[in-house]
Every structure is written in structure tokens, then in C-alpha cells.
């Protein structure tokens, strides 16, 4: 899209950060009502549980690190053993290997976001499930049959695609699994969305609290934003007339004025980050207490998101608190660092 949100390296791009949800899978020791997910024919399938509540969630978000701590309680009179699963959002492999400026924190490594988990303060090992989708169609069996490292973010995946026979390439084209990219050498590149799920068995003692912590480096996109563009929309959700998609960040008049001062009205780089909140509905009842801390990194940086009750707590930090919270939308944050950062 030309105009206020201009092309960055050939196209506008916006990616989801490496985020996760918590869901659970039955291991057979809980009652039927407690079974929230299970291993189906296609892998982990997610539902909900009435056995465990989320009493508190402390979420800290920055461009460099996401940290979250959950406090769960088993509300039943018996121990419950479930399979805790942590899916990352599907990663668009066209953007990973194309023109996009997608930050892959640990490119080429299986765990490309450096995902770490602690339970009651002790590090735990996670299993990993990987699947590839074109739309909602799982093409993982095809990619495995062709012996492609389809979950790789490194150079081995493009190299493997180039080594395929013409008939194998045709199978991928018919499946919509490859596409030509003008930013590469013209050869076929991956066109699937990668889904990664970290999971492990978890025991919740009767009436007891279990603390679970995660931390990882998010994958963040980038696009150019032109502050001098003509704006439209309400005062608390102003958008460039050619890019109404920016309404999802609730940029207000004051923020636009600050943007114009930041770089003399010239283009600035905006970095979108998304965190999935709605999956908290997998647990019994609302989140008892929810605390979100956003760190914009630099006192001169700007940040914008759609929420209420934001309180500044430091030169770079902001806090949002909720009680009995049932999130009905996900968290979408726009970070705008000062030029040169």
C-alpha cells in the first residue's frame, strides 16, 4: 500500500509476535468434565477445563522480551493431571523468507523464539509439535513425505526446496505450498503458515496453587509510517486516509502530534506486536487479577494500543490492571522508537 503506511523493502508488512496460549489436554487421570483437550488424529486439540482457574496473570511486554507468570488453582478435591500446551501463533513463512522485515530472534534454530518455562520456580522441558497449513488445510503430511524441513527458519529450507524434482515441485504448487518471490532469486519459496506447539504433562494438586512462568523473545514486524499524512476518524482513533487498518492501535491526536515532532514530519518506523489474550477463556471462570506492564524501551519512544485505564509507572513503563477479567480481544501494540533506534 502506497501512502501513509508505505512500502518497507518492497511491501508493507506486519507480523504477529511469537505469542502463546495455554490450553490443556487430558492424560486420562481427570474426570470427563475436566478434560480440556486431547491428542486427536491431527495432533493436540484444544477445548476448556472446569477444574483449574487462573487466579492471576502478570504480563510484561516489550519489543525485546515477553514475560508472563500465571497463578493457577485446582478447585477440585482431587489431583488433576493435564497436558499443558503452549502454541505460538502461526508464522507466515512467505514473510520469513521473502521481502518482509520479520525479526526471527534465533533464526535457523528449532526454538526460534528462545521459549523458556518454569513451574514453581523450576525449569521444565517441553515437547514440540510442528504443523504447516495452507489456509486451514494441514499440509504437514505432504511436506514430511517430501522430506522438507518445513519448520526451519534457516537456509536449509530454501536449499531443500531447490533440490526437489520437478514432479515434487508440482505437487507443492498444486497444494498452494510454494510461491515465487521477487525478493529472492525467483525460485519457489514456502507459502505455508507454520504452527508450533510446546506442550508437557502438568499435575495440579488438589486445592493447591501452581505457578507457571514463560519468557521468550518476540518476533516483531516493521513498516514505515508517515506522520504528515491527512488523518481521518474519531479523535481517539485517528488513521491515515489510505490506511484505516491502523485503527486497531487507537492512535489519538496527541500521539500524531508527537509523531510529527519526532522526525520533522518525515517517515518513522513503526513496529507492531500482538499478544493473544482471549485464550485465557480456556480456564474456569475469568482471570481473577490481570496486570499488564508495557515497556516502550526509550523515554523518547511512543506506544499506542486500544485499552482503558493505562497508568504511567516510569519513564518507559505503563501499567493496566483488571479484576475478574474475561478478555474478548487480543492485545495489539504499536511501538514507535525514535529515529536511529
Q: How confident is the model at residue 191 (pLDDT cuts 50, 70, 90)?
A: very high
pLDDT for 91: 86
Q: Which helix (H) or strand (E) holds 93?
A: helix 93-97
Q: At a CB cut-off of 8 Å and minimum separation 6, what does 159 contact?
A: none
149: closest CA among 112, 190, 183?
190
**What's the pLDDT band for 39 if we cut at 50, 70, 90?**
low
pLDDT for residue 13 is more than 50:
no
> Region 79-93: what's the mean pLDDT?
84
Higher pLDDT, 255 or 183: 255
pLDDT for position 208: 96
Residue 63 pLDDT more than 80? Answer: yes
Residue 199 has pLDDT above 90, yes or no: no
Q: Which of 257, 225, 262, 256 is nearest to 243 (CA)?
A: 225
Question: Residue 239 above 90 pLDDT?
Answer: no
Q: What is the pLDDT of residue 310?
A: 94
Task: Select the highest-mean-pLDDT range: 26-40, 150-164, 223-237.
Answer: 150-164
Contact 271, 334 (CB under 8 A): yes
The whole-model pTM stands at: 0.81
Q: How far is CA 321 from CA 72, 225, 273, 318, 327, in A?
A: 18, 30, 20, 10, 12
Contact 194, 138 (CB under 8 A): no
How confident is residue 155, by pLDDT bands cut at 50, 70 and 90?
very high
- Residue 90 cell numbers, joined: 502461526
pLDDT at residue 275 above 90? no
Percent of the chain with pLDDT over 70: 84
Amino acid at each position: 500500500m502506497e501512502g501513509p503506511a508505505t512500502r518497507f523493502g518492497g511491501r508493507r508488512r506486519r507480523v504477529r509476535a511469537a505469542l502463546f496460549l495455554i490450553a490443556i489436554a487430558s492424560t486420562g487421570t481427570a474426570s470427563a468434565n475436566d478434560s480440556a483437550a486431547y491428542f486427536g488424529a491431527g495432533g493436540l486439540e484444544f477445548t476448556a477445563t472446569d477444574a483449574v482457574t487462573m487466579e492471576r496473570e502478570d504480563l510484561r511486554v516489550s519489543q525485546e522480551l515477553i514475560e508472563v507468570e500465571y497463578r493457577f488453582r485446582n478447585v477440585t478435591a482431587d489431583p488433576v493431571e493435564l497436558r499443558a500446551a503452549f502454541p505460538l501463533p502461526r508464522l507466515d513463512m512467505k514473510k520469513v523468507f521473502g521481502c518482509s522485515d520479520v525479526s526471527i530472534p534465533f533464526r535457523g534454530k528449532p526454538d526460534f523464539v528462545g521459549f523458556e518455562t518454569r513451574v514453581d520456580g523450576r525449569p521444565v522441558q517441553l515437547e514440540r509439535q510442528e504443523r504447516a497449513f495452507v489456509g486451514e488445510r494441514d499440509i504437514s503430511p505432504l511436506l514430511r513425505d517430501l522430506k522438507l524441513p518445513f519448520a526451519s527458519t534457516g537456509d536449509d529450507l530454501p536449499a531443500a526446496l531447490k533440490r526437489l524434482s520437478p514432479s515434487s515441485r508440482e505437487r507443492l504448487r498444486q497444494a498452494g505450498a510454494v510461491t515465487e518471490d521477487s525478493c529472492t532469486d525467483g525460485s519457489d519459496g514456502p507459502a505455508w503458515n507454520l504452527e508450533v506447539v510446546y506442550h508437557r504433562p502438568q499435575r495440579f494438586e488438589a486445592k493447591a496453587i501452581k505457578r507457571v512462568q514463560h519468557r521468550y523473545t518476540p518476533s516483531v514486524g516493521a513498516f514505515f509510517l508517515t506522520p504528515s499524512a491527512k488523518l481521518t476518524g474519531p479523535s481517539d482513533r485517528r488513521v491515515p486516509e489510505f490506511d484505516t487498518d491502523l485503527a486497531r492501535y487507537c492512535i489519538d491526536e496527541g500521539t500524531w502530534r508527537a509523531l510529527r515532532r519526532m522526525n520533522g514530519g518525515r517517515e518513522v518506523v513503526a513496529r507492531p506486536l500482538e499478544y493473544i489474550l482471549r485464550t485465557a477463556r480456556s480456564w474456569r471462570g475469568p482471570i481473577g487479577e490481570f496486570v499488564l506492564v508495557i515497556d516502550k524501551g526509550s523515554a523518547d519512544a511512543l506506544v499506542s494500543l486500544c485499552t482503558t485505564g493505562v497508568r504511567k509507572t516510569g519513564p518507559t513503563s505503563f501499567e493496566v490492571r483488571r479484576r475478574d477479567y474475561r478478555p474478548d480481544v487480543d492485545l495489539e501494540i504499536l511501538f514507535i522508537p525514535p529515529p536511529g533506534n
